[in-house]
């Protein structure tokens, strides 16, 4: 752990320590590439009745998209592991993300919908934020596991079977992507709505 992490937690001066900010922005980049290339892969053999517009799909064609997907995968997984390990080791997850009470989530959703949800202390997450952040981290774990299951269905047979087979794992992978994309859409709107939150994720304060 860096000295910075310890002093910032003690003094409360820094909202997001440097490791959170670095991991966060690497993750944002990796997710963009994973979703863009994933959409291109999807277009080559769609699961549903629609395809994604070519302009927003990455990699030009199936093989190109797979190269992007498997390259950014390493960035996404290694960076994600660093974030989760440090999240537990520094106690950040315990301090910031729990406990989550159902009653508070309902109250905060109501407050948010009527425009009364306060965001005055950026260092403290409300119940909806906690739920969404924990939720997206879990979705990240599911998308990695289901991705491994469809990448190596022979070597990782047990994992693929755990998802109910190759086809089911593909649906799980897709649904996890949809959940993450939905999160990112809401998350980006909130980032620009809540004053100073973007600055805090860039400069730390």
Instruction: Give the interface with ligand HEM as residue ranges (CB under 6 A).
Output: 20, 24, 27-28, 31, 34-35, 38-39, 41-42, 47, 69, 73, 76-77, 92, 96, 122, 125, 129, 133, 136, 143-144, 147-148, 150-151, 170, 173-174, 177, 180, 184, 187-188, 191, 197-198, 201
Q: In the complex with ligand HEM, which residue's Cβ is closer, 127 or 177?
A: 177
Q: In the complex with ligand HEM, which residue's Cβ is closer, 110 or 196?
A: 196
| Residue 198: alpha-carbon gap to chain centroid | 16
CA 86 – CA 82 distance, rounded (Å): 6
* Least gap, CB of 174 to ligand HEM (angstroms): 5
Asked if residues 140 and 80 have their Cβ atoms less than 8 Å apart, the reply is: yes
Collect contacts of 22-25 with beta carbons under 8 A, ≥24 apart.
23/79, 23/80, 23/82, 23/83, 23/86, 24/83, 24/201, 25/201
Asked if residues 40 and 65 have their Cβ atoms less than 8 Å apart, the reply is: yes
* Least gap, CB of 3 to ligand HEM (angstroms): 19
Q: In the complex with ligand HEM, which residue's Cβ is closer, 13 or 28?
A: 28
Q: In the complex with ligand HEM, which residue's Cβ is closer, 107 or 201?
A: 201
């Amino acid at each position: 752990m860096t000295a910075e992490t310890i002093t910032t937690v003690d003094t409360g001066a820094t909202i997001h320590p440097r490791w959170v900010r670095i991991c966060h922005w690497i993750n944002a980049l990796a997710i963009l590439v994973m979703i863009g290339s994933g959409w291109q892969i999807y277009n080559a053999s769609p699961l549903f009745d629609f395809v994604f517009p070519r302009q927003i799909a990455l990699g030009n064609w199936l093989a190109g998209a797979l190269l992007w997907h498997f390259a950014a995968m390493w960035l996404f997984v290694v960076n994600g592991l660093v974030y989760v390990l440090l999240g537990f080791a520094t106690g950040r997850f315990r301090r910031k993300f729990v406990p989550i009470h159902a009653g508070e989530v309902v109250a905060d959703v109501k407050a948010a919908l009527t425009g009364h949800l306060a965001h005055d202390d950026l260092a403290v997450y409300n119940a909806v934020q906690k739920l969404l952040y924990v939720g997206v981290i879990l979705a990240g774990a599911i998308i990695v596991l289901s991705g491994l299951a469809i990448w190596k269905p022979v070597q990782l047979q047990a994992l693929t079977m755990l998802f109910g087979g190759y086809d089911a794992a593909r649906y799980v992978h897709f649904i996890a992507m949809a959940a993450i994309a939905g999160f990112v859409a809401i998350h980006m709107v909130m980032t620009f709505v809540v004053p100073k939150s973007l600055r805090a994720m860039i400069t730390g304060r």
